[in-house]
Amino acid sequence: MSFSEFTPADYEVIARDYALLKEAARRRCASEEELQVVQKAFDFANEAHKNVRRRSGEPYILHPIAVASIVVSDIGLGYKSISAALLHDVVEDTDYTVDDIRKLFGDKVASLVDGLTKIKNVLDKQASNDEAYTRSIQAENFKRILLTLGDDVRVVLIKLADRLHNCRTIEYMPEYKRDKILSETMFIFVPLAHRLGLYEIKSEMENIWLRYKEPDAYAEISSLIDRNLSDKKKEIDRFVIPVEEALGKAGFKFEIRKRVKTPYSVWHKMQTKNISFEEVYDLYAIRIIFTPDPASAESERDQCYHVFSIITGIYKYKPERVRDWVKHPKSNGYEALHCTLLSDNGVWIEVQIRTKRMDDIAEKGIAAHWAYKKDGYVSENDSEMDKWLDKVKDILTNPDVGALELLEIIHNDLVTSDIVVFTPKGDQKSVQKGATALDFAYQIHTDIGNQAIAAKVNMKLVPLSYVLRSGDQVEIITAEDEHPKKEWLHFLQTRHARVAVMDYFRAERPAMIQSGREYVQERFKAMGIHASEGLFRRMALQLEISNADELFFRFSLGLIPFEAIVDMAGQAPAPQVRKRWNFPWFRKETAEKPKYVLASCCKPIAGDPIVAFKQPDGTITVHKKSCPVAEGIAAKHGDWIVMPRWEEVQEQDYLVRISIRGTDRVGLLNEITRYISLVMGVNIKKLVLGSEQGIFEGYIDLYVHDKEVLTTLMGKIAGIGGIERVMRTEL
């Protein structure tokens, strides 16, 4: 921030932006009195931020106005939230206090501002020299953010609006700050927006992330989308005409909106499926949004199926691509019926069928969901969001969960998808993807989990460790004298079930702590390691466990292997132990000269956009900016981020993989390898190519000096007759 007198042009921009916000607020406010509160909040914030500028040079007040605009237009919150958004930086950046806000605007607005101020304090706080503090500062930040879910979810919704606007203006940030913000955004805020049903906010954050993390890919995909859309626009218009005519004839009141996949969603699909842009067949979508006929004998759900039957009577559809989130809504409240239809011109188009209520929830998320609930509309999915919020509160209030552990738990919970299984009576239950039969038992009731001995899935006897699949019918077999086993902790997937098992053994906790402590002390003595309470406390800190007692309790449960205990004490004989158990806590003495290591998870090559992390031992690990592992590290340890240049990293040839597909012909393989080896002078390490029914497909692992060489080589191979696709893929 900086200070300088506002000019007439500045005041003109402020007045213009606020006028737009006020108009949006007028449509949302229930009375003139509510609108006056918004006006009062703007006047107060405008005066408080007078002559203060952002990094971009624009008046600072434009940021709160923009956040408030997102709050009302994109999320659909009311006047108290709009006012809080306008005031959200006042307490942090000026001499005004929360009590001042309370006197002027009441308890609720003051409470929202207080929650936002606490979040901002920890996010902006600089890391100190205290190692314990620097290791967990980012995790503590998110713990503070998520704790507000227990108070008022509107604080998190306003924070999401604030983060979205910060992303929109991120170009003015220095690169290291940009990477930290974008990594936090992708690791927590994007999945949080998804979980709360804010798809538009989620999509915009993802696209901004891609634009800065993979700028070349973003530019190329955006260009391909624009070019493709220009070519296909008339075809899509022709596709819609018979749909409109048929629905109108059937008496539906509806509108049709057209949309195209975002650059990020295309990029993500290309990465995860290892496909080219041309193979993303559901690039286009139309949304049919209709108002259900209250006089109809058909329910809202049945009217969605009626629309489906009409459009699939016009166009062929892919049965395997039907997604019925009307009968089985997502846990974040999303309801819609998706299908993919083939146009007369051979273009696959995704069709999304929604009622007006479903569309409001899809666009505004949890705010719209609760608004309908308040108005008396109750859907079968009403309890899902409340269940999730209760689960988050339970995690947050557990004193044994450290900040880094909590961040990982919440992140995993946010990104985990659900599947649907059925009880023997046919009742539908949503369970976490990857959950076992025993996880399901604990989900039904803790006592059923504790007494479980086996399960029947689809009428067949299976062990409790059986991993459930969507559509399974599950029956849990129990015995009154049965009790939890320590071994269960090795295959349980859901946190609720794991906590239930650990809680059962907490009755034996003192004895287990004592036996664990004695075992470690005896083994350490035999190995010549001095076992002090200070060492045990440091080991617990490294594990992000609350204290040494909890360390020994988890050790006795078998959750922490002895090899990891030795490793943390600094006595591991070889680094393989750390790799095998995936405990990265023990660090060697800092090297005199930084050592650059290329991350094995993403294998960057010279020319790739990179981010690096300087770990406590001085090693600098280099990742691709878009690497998911790097995102997790940056979200937890933002203070480790460094921005190296490729010339600082030791020159070498980099191993990469290119995947090739095409139509087979005589001499094609020879032509490819001849070009790689003789023309480009590139060394081939491995070649796996084959032909079946005239299709030539496989991959080549080779060494290149940098990304420019790789791009040139791929371009030349793509130009060889018969080659349809050349892509860089993961090793």
By annotation, the residues acting in catalysis are: 92-93
Q: Which residues contact 139 (CB under 8 A, 6 or more apart)?
A: 402, 403, 404, 406, 407, 544, 636
DSSP structural state of residue 650: P
Contact 726, 626 (CB under 8 A): no
Strands 428-432 and 418-422: antiparallel
d(CA 656, CA 84): 50
Contact 85, 104 (CB under 8 A): no
DSSP, collapsed to helix, strand or coil, labels residue 660 as: strand
Diameter over CA atoms, the chain: 86
In Å, what is the CA distance from 485 to each residue of 489, 492, 501? Answer: 8, 11, 8
Question: H or E element: which one contains 687?
Answer: strand 683-692
- Residue 258 tokens read as 């057209």
DSSP structural state of residue 297: S
DSSP, collapsed to helix, strand or coil, labels residue 122 as: helix
Contact 209, 664 (CB under 8 A): no
Residue 31 buriedness (CB in 10 A; 0-12 / 13-18 / 19+): exposed
Torsion of CA 173, 175, 179, 182, to 10 degrees: 30
Long-range (24+ apart) CB contacts under 8 A made by 235-240 are 235/343, 235/345, 235/347, 236/284, 236/286, 236/343, 236/347, 236/349, 238/343, 238/344, 238/345, 239/286, 239/315, 239/341, 239/343, 239/344, 239/347, 239/349, 240/286
Phi, psi of 427 (to 5 degrees): -70, 140
User: Rounded to the nearest 5 degrees, what angle is found at the Cα of 43, between the Cα atoms of 42 and 47?
Assistant: 110
